[in-house]
Amino acid sequence: VPPTSNAHRHALDPSGVIEVPQRLLMGPGPANAHPRILAAQSLPLLGHMHPPFLKIMDEISEGLRYCLQTDSKYTLMVSGTGHAGMEAAIANLLEPGEKIIVGNKGIWGQRVADLAARYGGDVVELKAEAGRSFSLAEMTAALEKHRPAVLFLCQGESSTGVHQSLAGLGEVCKRTGTLLLVDTVCSLGGVPFYFDEWGVDCMYSGSQKCLSAPPGGAPFAMSARAMEKLKGRKTKPATYNLDMNLIGDYWGCLITVNTIKVPAGVDWAAVVKNAMDRYSLEIAGGLGPTAGKVWRVGLMGYNARPQNVALVVEAFRDGLAKQGKL
């Protein structure tokens, strides 16, 4: 097909060289990528399951943990732009019928409200006129009134240029049984962010703003509380591609301490004792609210190997058989 206009020239250039104009990107994003990142993009491709690639993924998680100031192991990149992070957060944190308060002070709040409604959420919008952020007192009153499952706030509202303070909010959210979700697409790496200290439960971001990379990777993190909620959902997230159970498995966020419910009539302590006496194997009973109700089996670090799993299963089989429960 002969080129019909200049617009087709690059794609059909027989030399294969694509000309892209130099621009200084000083708008709300994307920003220009750092030269080191552009250079890294010309490195050879690796298979997504090859050990050197998995090592790079580990390094990315570690770097993100520093960037977010968190120890959470549920720290990874979602493939896609900031919108993919946004959708992943809503789809995983919110179950149909649950309440979400959306702090709406610009485009991004509006978009999250739309998304949450599409996922069956009961959306309560907390509105502020353009140019204003929400005060802690205002958010506390809304949380205490509605006691929602999730509170959404945008740290850097790029449509109005407003910064949202988050300090102090985590404690209120814990009190009202709410997960705190924060959009940092436009702010991460540009202004301080303290995931753990502020008690944030879920955060998504974008790569093409303060992190100076091309778009296509959305930094994403969940707290242990958010992960617990995900594991205890009554319904599966209505997205396959962005299901954090599946993405988390790929990134190696496996559950490390597994709780197994003790069936009625079983002496849990006898199973623990038998595992130690017969197999020199330590497993534990419940703790606090789970005392007497569960066993706790750790799968961590060097111990997370198939032969150890097989031994644990055998010890359970034997312990239960000795009580005539198998």
The nearest distance, CB 203 to ligand PMP, in angstroms, is 12
- CA dihedral (279, 280, 283, 284) positive or negative: positive
Q: Which of 121, 170, 206, 219 binds ligand PMP (CB under 6 A)?
A: 206
Phi first, then psi, for residue 174 (nearest 5°) are -60, -40
Residues contacting residue 92 through CB under 8 Å, at least 6 positions apart: 202, 222, 226, 230, 237, 242, 243, 244
Q: Which is nearer to ligand PMP, 127 or 147 (CB)?
A: 127
Which stretch in 47-55, 75-83, 95-103, 219-227 sits in contact with ligand PMP by CB under 6 A?
75-83
Residue nearest to ligand PMP (CB): 82
Residue of 70, 72, 92, 158 interacting with ligand PMP (CB under 6 A): 158
Q: Which of 64, 126, 148, 183 binds ligand PMP (CB under 6 A)?
A: 183
Q: Is 113 in the site for ligand PMP (CB under 6 A)?
A: no
Residue with tokens 């242990």: 224
CB of 130 to ligand PMP, least distance (A): 14
Q: What kind and span of H or E run contains 222? A: strand 217-222
Does 103 bind ligand PMP (CB under 6 A)? Our answer is no
Q: Is 108 in the site for ligand PMP (CB under 6 A)?
A: yes
Give the residue with the Cβ less far from ligand PMP, 156 or 319.
Answer: 156
Q: Does 185 bind ligand PMP (CB under 6 A)?
A: yes
280: left (phi over 0), alpha (psi -120 to 50) or beta: left
Sequence-ordered list of residues with C-beta below 8 angstroms from that of 280, at least 6 positions apart, any chain: none
Asked whether position 83 contacts ligand PMP by CB under 6 A, the answer is yes
Q: Which of 90, 154, 253, 312: binder of ligand PMP (CB under 6 A)?
A: 154
121 makes contact with ligand PMP (CB under 6 A): no
Least Cβ distance, residue 209 to ligand PMP (angstroms): 7
Residue 245, burial from CB neighbour count under 10 angstroms (0-12, 13-18, 19+)? middle
SS3 202: strand
Among 109, 121, 148, 156, binds ligand PMP (CB under 6 A): 156
Q: Is 109 in the site for ligand PMP (CB under 6 A)?
A: no
For 17, counting Cβ atoms within 10 Å of its Cβ (0-12 exposed, 13-18 middle, 19+ buried), the class is exposed
**Phi, then psi, of 107 in degrees rounded to 5:** -60, -40
Q: 177 vs 216, which CB is nearer to ligand PMP? A: 216
Shortest Cβ 140–ligand PMP spacing (Å): 23
Say if CB 153 and CB 102 are below 8 A apart: no
Among candidate residues 76, 2, 119, 118, the one with its CA nearest the CA of residue 227: 76
Q: Which stretch binds ligand PMP (CB under 6 A): 38-46, 154-162, 240-248, 264-272?
A: 154-162
Taking alpha carbons only, the member of 210, 207, 106 closest to residue 152 is 106
Residues 6+ apart with CB under 8 A from 138: 126
Applying CB under 6 A, does 242 fall inside the site for ligand PMP? Answer: no
As measured in angstroms, the least distance from the Cβ of 44 to ligand PMP is 27
The region of 91-99, 114-122, 179-187, 260-268 touching ligand PMP under the rule CB under 6 A is 179-187
Q: Which of these ranges, 4-12, 120-128, 178-186, 279-287, lies near ligand PMP under the rule CB under 6 A?
A: 178-186
Task: Using the minimum distance from each CB to ligand PMP, give the nearer residue, 241 or 303.
Answer: 241
